Amino acid sequence: DVKVTQSSRYLVKRTGEKVFLECVQDMDHENMFWYRQDPGLGLRLIYFSYDVKMKEKGDIPEGYSVSREKKERFSLILESASTNQTSMYLCASSLSSITGELFFGEGSRLTVL
């Protein structure tokens, strides 16, 4: 069974802290994505990666960075967390753009105080 695992379900951080959100997939997928989900705004793409060490900005990359050193792992980094980054963060992977289907993790709910 396919699995995307996000390391933290719930985090509480203070403004200015550095935050790491980890995501691991066990399906040997090429593509990995980070979205944030906010009520009334749906899912907004932050960054995605189509290969190891490759990354592309999504629609809202400001304030975020990513790292993909290994194929199975895609990390989202908030260099200096701010209150407007309080959100649900969703990691997803897909085999390729040809197949398209995204497999999602459970989500990481981040609260920045």
Partner 1 sequence: AQSVSQHNHHVILSEAASLELGCNYSYGGTVNLFWYVQYPGQHLQLLLKYFSGDPLVKGIKGFEAEFIKSKFSFNLRKPSVQWSDTAEYFCAVNEERDDKIIFGKGTRLHILP
Residues 21-54 as b/e (b if ≥16 CB within 10 A, e otherwise) read bebbbeeebbbbbbbbeeeeeeeebbbbbeeeee
40 binds partner 1 (CB under 8 A): yes
Look up residue 55 and give its amino acid: K
Look up residue 29 and give its amino acid: H
Among 15, 65, 70, 106, binds partner 1 (CB under 8 A): 106
Site for partner 1 in 74-93 (CB under 8 A): 90, 92
Among 94, 108, 110, 112, binds partner 1 (CB under 8 A): 94
Among 35, 64, 74, 89, binds partner 1 (CB under 8 A): 35
Beta bridge mates, 12: 111
Interface with partner 1 (CB under 8 A), residue total 26
Integer Cα distance of 11 and 86 in angstroms: 10
Applying CB under 8 A, which residues contact partner 1? 31, 33, 35, 40-45, 48, 50, 56, 58-59, 90, 92, 94, 96-97, 100-102, 104-107
